Amino acid sequence: MIRLLWYYSCLWTVASGAKILLATMPQGRSHAGSFMPLMHRLVQDGHNVTVFFEIYSPELPLGGGVKENLVLLKGIDYSITNDPMFADIVWNGALGAMSGIVPFYFSSKSCAHMIREQPDDFWHLANQTWDLVLTDSIFTTCGYALALLNKKPFVLMHSSDVEPVHGYFKAYGRNYALVTPYFLDYENAQFHIERFMDRVEGARSFVEMFLAIAYPSSFLINNAIGHLVEFSMEEYAKQTVFSFYDMPDTMTWPLPGANDLVSYGAHCKKGKVLPDEYAKFINDPSSKGTILVAFGTICQWEFAPKRIIDAFVTTLNNLADYRIIWAYKGPKLPLNSHVMVNSWIPQQEILEHPKTKLFISHGGLKSLKEAICSETPVIYMPMFAEQLRNSWIARERNFAAYVNKKNVTAESLERTVRSVLSDEKYQTSISRMRRFFDDRPIHSLDEGSFWFRRLLKYGGKMPDMFYRKGVGNFFVFHYHLDLIAVAFVFVYIVSR
């Protein structure tokens, strides 16, 4: 009888699934969108997934069966989307590693406001018991507090690649002098490992990011949640039981792996039926093909400088043999009838259409993957963050070209567009990339699902032997600086 009861209790545990909380950055639909395919898969597996982030204005539903707990903050608005200063940086400037402190500042202010002014919303989540808490790797101050207060295992979710600093904290063995920096220079948007100064730049970029995240950002977060839990980004990262990241491993170069490091991003989903309005426009028999122009939700065209608007309008008007669809929200433009403009477009469905020949984009990871999945050559005009790095990777794989937002002209843009349209290498290369994308022993979402099941089987944390001892190393030993110091001392003594 006891054995039978035990058996039925096991069946109930499996059937009811785990209770999982995902916390991401404020107004974090973009980051949450990177995590959603895996979250939807966890829901299909029978788990109870709740998504939390603070918002300043209503968000569209995330769908897929996840439970949304999007807390609307009252009396403050730290949204950067419509901020003219941020828009000026996006369109004219550059965001480096140190600029990451700013989102940490605003996310910490948001969290402090929520705990102080809307405590019921915070404690509604904090007083629940979660089997696992998943937090955005960056900018989710209240998420870190919820994970630590839960006193159970927690997981890092990376919306792109693993940030170099987190890779160091987790002892993944990556030498950041040998990989493309997260933040490239617009004036020198390249990285070649055989060049000494490029390696120096990679090391400099890592140190800058380390200084930004390890100290001032941790200080800002502690100001917001320190009265509830003591926080250090380094200690938090070291305590995480797994890291899941959205950058497909086939996109980059061979890198050290780890048992608790999983890329789940190499997957494609099928779009819905293309609306008749777009199908009729695209299928015009006089068209040589379709060009899609889309720059995501953060790049607001109403803030774009006149020189960039003029470059795009002139170029698109000159491409009269093609049908062009532009995701654009802003003042009315003098565009010819072969250019369709809408504030929202079915991007994936348009890319999947066989007549679509070119995608002009900003280089965000989700758009990058949609281009690969639809086998559409790309022209990138990266705007901020790691988009320049994504563009460089795509150019190195020969399926994308690049234009610099700082000096783009109608002549240079049109020349680049016609070059990509006329050169078969771009189509051949991106079709080849799609084959690499799919060529996996196990589907990436199946792999993510497998590791969550394994984690939960062990109560949320794998046995200690599963993890690397190097996680506890002091950076002097981690980077063999002690041996280098001994070598310098030896050389000094011999030279004397």
Report the range of poorest mean pLDDT among 235-249, 293-307, 339-353. Answer: 293-307
Domains 2-266+447-463 and 276-438 share a fold: yes
For the beta carbon of residue 209, count every other beta carbon within 10 angstroms. Answer: 23
CA angle 134, 139, 145 (to 5 degrees): 55
Give the tokens for residue 91: 């369109």
Q: How many CA atoms within 13 Å lie on the side-chain side of 314?
A: 14
Residue type, position 54, single letter = E
The pLDDT score that the predictor gives to residue 126 is: 97
Residue 495, pLDDT > 90, answer: no
Within 236-368, strands assigned E span 243-245, 261-263, 290-293, 323-327, 339-342, 356-361
pLDDT (average), residues 482-496: 80
Name the 3-class secondary structure at 196: helix
Domain ranges within the chain, ordered by starting residue: 2-266+447-463, 276-438
Q: Residue 83: beta bridge partners?
A: none
pLDDT value of residue 4? 42
Per-residue pLDDT tens for 58-117?
Answer: 888 898 999 999 999 999 998 877 677 788 888 888 777 777 788 899 999 999 999 999
Distance, CA of 34 to CA of 269 (rounded, Å):
13
| Side-chain half-sphere CA neighbours of 482 within 13 A | 6
In terms of DSSP bridges, do strands 356-361 and 378-380 run parallel, antiparallel, or are they unpaired? parallel
| E runs forming strands in 83-188 | 132-136, 154-158
With a cut of 70, say whether residue 2 has pLDDT above it. Answer: no
CATH superfamily of 276-438: Glycogen Phosphorylase B; (3.40.50.2000)
Which of 140 and 174 is assigned the larger pLDDT?
140
Q: Are 79 and 53 in contact (CB under 8 A)?
A: no
3-class secondary-structure state, position 179: coil
Identify the pLDDT of residue 14: 43
Encoded tokens for 45: 């597996």
Q: CA-CA distances (angstroms) from residue 463 to 28, 237, 241, 305, 459?
A: 33, 18, 10, 55, 10
Q: What does DSSP say about strands 290-293 and 261-263: parallel, antiparallel, or unpaired?
A: unpaired
| Among 468, 456, 445, 440, residue whose Cα is nearest residue 260 | 468
Instruction: Report whether pLDDT(15) > 90.
Output: no
> Quick check: 12 pLDDT over 60?
no
> What pLDDT, on the 0 to 100 scale, is given for residue 174?
85
Over residues 208-254, the pLDDT tens digits come to 888 888 889 999 999 999 999 999 999 999 999 999 999 998 887 78
Kindly calculate the radius of gyration of the chain based on its CA atoms and give it in whole angstroms. Answer: 24
| Least confident span in 12-21, 278-287, 375-384, 446-455 | 12-21
Specify which residues 361 forms β-bridges with.
Answer: 380
User: What is the model's pLDDT at position 5?
Assistant: 45
Residue 297: both structure tokens together: 């939700």
Mean pLDDT, to the nearest integer, of 119-138? 97
Higher-pLDDT residue of 115, 184 = 115
Rounded to 5 degrees, φ, ψ at 327 are -80, 100
How confident is the model at residue 151, as a pLDDT? 94
The least confident of 46-60, 308-322, 464-478 is 464-478
Look at residue 200 and tell me whether its pLDDT is greater than 50: yes
pLDDT at 16: 54
pLDDT over threshold 60, residue 10? no
Q: Is the pLDDT of residue 282 over 90?
A: yes
pTM: 0.90
Q: Which CATH superfamily is domain 2-266+447-463 in?
A: Glycogen Phosphorylase B; (3.40.50.2000)
The tokens for 131 are 């089997």
CA 418 to chain centre: 30
